[in-house]
């Protein structure tokens, strides 16, 4: 019977996406793993792979269509022996299935979204021809196999897994959003006598709103603040850049901040943790996420193993990640994970601010602008220095106050004595 290809959930928080481009046409033969479309999520443009084999019988959603709901049909795949005329209209075999049984649910398995649903409807087991052939060869009862294809359809991977006694399993995770104080209708009514322009929320803005609301409601934040004298850092950076100019390398202050945070986490392993609900996960490497402003929102690419990399390597890697982030070309592995984030608004003239923790990470450093300020030295003399204010937001479930203070102290020490981060 014809099989609907559904709009995939390409990230745990994705609710809808834009069908940017079809990579196949009606009549093309596809097998599991073939690239069939490019999907624009709230953060990136990603390639969508087929999970089954067959012939593209009908494309239901044209490329360029925006705001396509996750799990809504976007194309129809024909099995062996089926004709193109079988899908001349809406695919009736699927449309006639009971809605309550056919609706897929989004599940998260090791951060990878999959579609799961009942494997049979009306007593019939749905499986691809290849899956049926393999099952027959191995003497497997398909009614005992869980399907991970569209609408819970059994595909080759399910049968292979069943053969070795490792049936795929999934636990459905439901994401709920806490109600706001006022409904949208109530807000609109409140301002009905004022001139307004209604701006629709895109996928990125919806995701940012949901995640930050969740973070502030569920994470017990506490805040630690320090002023940092960065005169030595600025002099060290100027000297380094003069030496690196012939290689076309120019280090930014942010490059030093990234490295300083990574080395601080190495010196305090207990702070290099993420919250995992009923336990903590302590990371060995310093994986640092850095907030990058893009059109319509922000994204936090993650620099991996920062403690092992030179400043020049980090600078080049950060520039590459930021560039691809702005063109939405990052893969999920490049913006997920990490135990620590940095958000720098100094270039916008912001003196200081408090940043919201990016779960499941345990801390984020908010960096303000470096400004000339009067300071009193240890000898009591008054002088002028370049002072940069920072605020460390910490998850109190994972890191206590004293440990958080030690972490911020190590960051300050590394930035006020930049030679420390090179040895």
- What is the sign of the dihedral through the CA atoms of 308, 311, 312 and 314? positive
Q: Are 365 and 340 in contact (CB under 8 A)?
A: yes
Q: Are 17 and 70 in contact (CB under 8 A)?
A: yes
Distance, CA of 199 to CA of 182 (rounded, Å): 18
Distance, CA of 96 to CA of 92 (rounded, Å): 6
Query: Which is nearest to 302 in space by CA: 327, 330, 326?
Result: 330
The CA R_g of the chain, rounded to the nearest whole Å, is: 26
Distance, CA of 151 to CA of 125 (rounded, Å): 11
Q: What's the Cα-to-Cα distance from 16 to each of 65, 72, 88, 124, rounded to whole Å?
A: 11, 9, 26, 30
Active site includes 396? yes
User: Within the chain, what is the greatest distance between any pair of CA atoms?
Assistant: 90
Query: Which is nearest to 262 in space by CA: 320, 321, 303?
Result: 303
Distance, CA of 23 to CA of 47 (rounded, Å): 9
Q: Are 331 and 46 in contact (CB under 8 A)?
A: yes
Of 269, 323, 396, 401, catalytic: 396
- Tokens 């984020």 belong to residue: 364
Distance, CA of 285 to CA of 308 (rounded, Å): 9
Tell me phi and psi for residue 409, to 5 degrees.
Answer: -60, -40
Give the Cα-Cα-Cα angle 243, 246, 251 (nearest 5 degrees): 55
So which residues are the catalytic ones?
Answer: 396
């Amino acid at each position: 019977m014809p099989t609907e290809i559904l709009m995939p959930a390409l990230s745990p928080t994705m609710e809808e996406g834009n069908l940017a481009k079809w990579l196949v046409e009606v009549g093309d033969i596809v097998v599991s793993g073939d690239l069939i479309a490019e999907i624009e999520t709230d953060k990136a443009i990603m390639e969508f792979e087929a999970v089954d084999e067959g012939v593209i019988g009908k494309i239901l959603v044209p490329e360029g269509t925006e705001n396509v709901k996750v799990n809504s049909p976007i194309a129809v795949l024909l099995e062996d022996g089926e004709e193109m005329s079988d899908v001349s209209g809406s695919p009736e075999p699927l449309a006639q299935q009971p809605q309550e049984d056919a609706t897929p649910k989004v599940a998260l398995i090791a951060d990878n979204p999959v579609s799961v649903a009942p494997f049979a409807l009306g007593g019939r087991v749905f499986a691809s021809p290849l899956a049926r052939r393999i099952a027959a060869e191995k003497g497997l009862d398909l009614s005992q196999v869980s399907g991970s294809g569209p609408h819970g359809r059994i595909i080759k991977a399910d049968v292979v897994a069943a053969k070795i006694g490792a049936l795929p399993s999934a636990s459905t995770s439901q994401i709920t959003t806490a109600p706001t104080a006022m409904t949208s209708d109530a807000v609109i009514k409140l301002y009905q006598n004022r001139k307004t322009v209604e701006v629709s929320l895109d996928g990125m803005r919806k995701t940012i709103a949901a995640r930050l609301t969740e973070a502030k409601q569920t994470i017990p934040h506490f805040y630690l603040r320090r002023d940092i004298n960065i005169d030595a850092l600025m002099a060290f950076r100027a000297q380094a850049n003069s030496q690196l100019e012939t290689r076309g390398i120019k280090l930014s202050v942010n490059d030093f901040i990234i490295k300083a945070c990574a080395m601080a986490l190495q010196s305090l392993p207990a702070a290099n943790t993420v919250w995992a609900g009923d336990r903590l996960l302590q990371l060995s490497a310093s994986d640092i996420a850095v907030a990058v402003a893009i059109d319509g929102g922000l994204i936090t690419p993650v620099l991996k193993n920062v403690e092992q990399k030179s400043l020049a390597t980090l600078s080049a890697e950060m520039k590459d990640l930021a560039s691809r982030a702005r063109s939405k070309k990052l893969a999920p592995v490049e913006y997920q994970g990490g135990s620590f984030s940095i958000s720098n608004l100094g270039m916008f003239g912001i003196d200081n601010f408090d940043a919201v923790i990016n779960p499941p990470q345990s801390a984020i450093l908010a960096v303000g602008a470096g400004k000339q300020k009067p300071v009193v030295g240890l000898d009591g003399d008054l002088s002028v220095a370049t002072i940069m204010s920072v605020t460390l937001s910490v998850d109190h479930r994972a890191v206590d106050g004293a440990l958080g203070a030690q972490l911020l102290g190590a960051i300050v020490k590394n930035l006020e004595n930049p030679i420390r981060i090179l040895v």
